[in-house]
Amino acid sequence: MRVRAIRVLVATLALTGLLTATTVGASATESGTYWTKKAKLTLVHGVPGKAGFPVDITLRKWGGAAQRFEGVTFGTIAGPLEVPKGLYRVAIRPAGAKWSSKPVLSKWVWLWGGSNRSVVAHLAADGTPRLSAYTNDVRPTWGKARVTVRHNAAAPKVDVYAGTSPVIEDLRNPYQRSIVVPAGMYPISVAPANTSYAQRVFGPADLHFAKDTVTIVYAVGSLAGGSFTPLVQVLPTR
């Protein structure tokens, strides 16, 4: 089945203009037990390139059908998609390539019943394209907000600031860090680790973290190449 990605604005960041991410959505249900629940999967295109480096992303279940998202460009967030639990292969090919051609990136990902995961196509710290898989922490926050930052850019370790104070330090590619904060608006900046707020490479940009949500920030692109970009996804907590 061939499915064309539908792009929807998911975040607006104020920093000398508008910085946006796009999303492809699918409805989700929470009914069922661990064994019968479906899984949720988000696909992120964070590899920069000419004209947005359009790619086709194929999601194929082991022993089952496949979905194909065509012409997906840099900065697109597809999901959360609701899919049956099982073992899936995520394969990425240049836009318009044959299904039978060798993918430029591929990864097997296990989605258990009730799981909520993300697969990100991004650059490693040295600029090499790669796929990384993460589990999205959607546990209750009891009126507060969870913030998860994922370092998926060709860049050294970074510190993340709320205001002028670092709240996440020494985060390196491809790792993530999560914190729970009171809901509200925060001025967010990013600077190379072991420097200072004055050396920031992004920000400040005001981000609103709503209560009982997890805001996932994917730092993608290349710092040296001038495409360093935070993509933002907001998920409800349980």
pLDDT (tens digit, 9 = 90+) per residue, 185-232? Answer: 999 999 999 999 999 999 999 999 999 999 999 999 999 999 999 999
Q: Give pLDDT, residue 65.
A: 87
Among candidate residues 189, 197, 198, the one with its CA nearest the CA of residue 217: 189
Q: Is 197 in a helix, a strand, or coil?
A: helix
> Which two structure tokens, joined as six digits, stand for 6?
């539908």
Q: How confident is the model at residue 94 (pLDDT cuts 50, 70, 90)?
A: very high
Q: What is the mean pLDDT of residues 78-102?
A: 96
Residues 166-192: pLDDT tens digits? 999 999 999 999 999 999 999 999 999
Spatial strand order in the sheet of 184-192: 165-171, 158-162, 184-192, 202-209
At 18-27, the pLDDT tens digits run 333 333 433 3
- Tens of pLDDT, residue by residue over 95-146, are 999 989 999 999 999 999 999 999 999 999 999 999 999 999 999 999 999 9
User: Which residues make Cβ contacts (< 8 Å) with residue 74, sequence separation at least 6?
Assistant: 45, 46, 47, 48, 49, 52, 53, 220, 221, 227
Does residue 6 surpass a pLDDT of 70?
no
What are the phi and psi torsion angles at 223 (to 5°)? -65, -45
SS3 69: strand
Query: Could you give the CA distance from residue 155 to residue 145 in angstroms, rounded to a whole number?
Result: 27
Q: What pTM value is reported for the model?
A: 0.86
Among 196, 201, 189, smallest CA distance to 228 is for 201
Collapsed DSSP state (helix, strand, coil) of residue 198: helix
Closest CA to 43 of 136, 179, 146: 136
Write down the pLDDT at residue 238.
Answer: 86
